[in-house]
Amino acid sequence: IEGGGIDHVVFSCGSGGTATGIALGFALSGEYNNNRNNNDQKVSSAHPSPQIHAMGVCDHPDYFYQTMTTIAQGMGLLNKSEQKQDDDDDALQSRIRKYITVHQAKGLGYAVSTTEELEFIRQFALDTGIVLDPVYSGKALYNFYNLVKENPDKYRNQKILFWHTGGSLGLYEQEEKLMERFESTSSSSV
């Protein structure tokens, strides 16, 4: 990215798999670069890892933290030591929480959209040409947008990457409601 690194990475979180991969990828990359910096003074990390924001569209943030911990354990990222398993679980979850923040973004519920969410998706498509689905990416971006509006100083002059993870099949579920919104736009603009 021109002029420097990314400050925030935002994406939809439905099962925890993508969140785990992204968080651990950035975490392991950062640890690798830190180790290189310690061993080779010529290597410098100009930009710290971005803050990762997983927008949980179907469950509570604690559920996703526990799911990410379980996935990381399955990948063998649990440090083997003399400690009890519970201590290792807590240490691993604490490490994950250091790299990622899971936000509550399910609204009325999984695959249930509010009028405001659907209007946001419609307007975003008209403004950008990018189609978001109402189940994952649309709900995630809508909720992150509101988070930014609630705390604008935190995000001012920050580089934010929204990672569109797909989810276009979710459009079919809300097709009728979305089409009504687009039809009213096209008839009013003629």
Residue that the structure tokens 């690798």 belong to = 32
pLDDT at residue 189 tops 90: no
pLDDT category, 173, cuts 50, 70, 90?
Answer: low
What pLDDT score does 63 carry?
A: 97
Q: What would the pLDDT profile of 10-21 be if each residue is shown by its tens digit?
A: 999 999 999 999
pLDDT, position 181:
66
> Looking at residue 35, what is its pLDDT?
61
Q: What is the pLDDT of residues 65-118, one digit of tens each?
A: 999 999 999 888 755 443 455 567 788 899 899 889 999 999 999 989 999 999
pLDDT, residue 32, reads 57
Tell which wins on pLDDT, 186 or 58.
Answer: 58
Cα–Cα dist 121/132, whole Å: 6
Average pLDDT value for residue range 48-75: 93
CA distances to 2, 40, 48, 154, 157 from 5, rounded to whole Å, are 8, 22, 8, 17, 12
Sign of CA dihedral 49, 55, 58, 62: positive
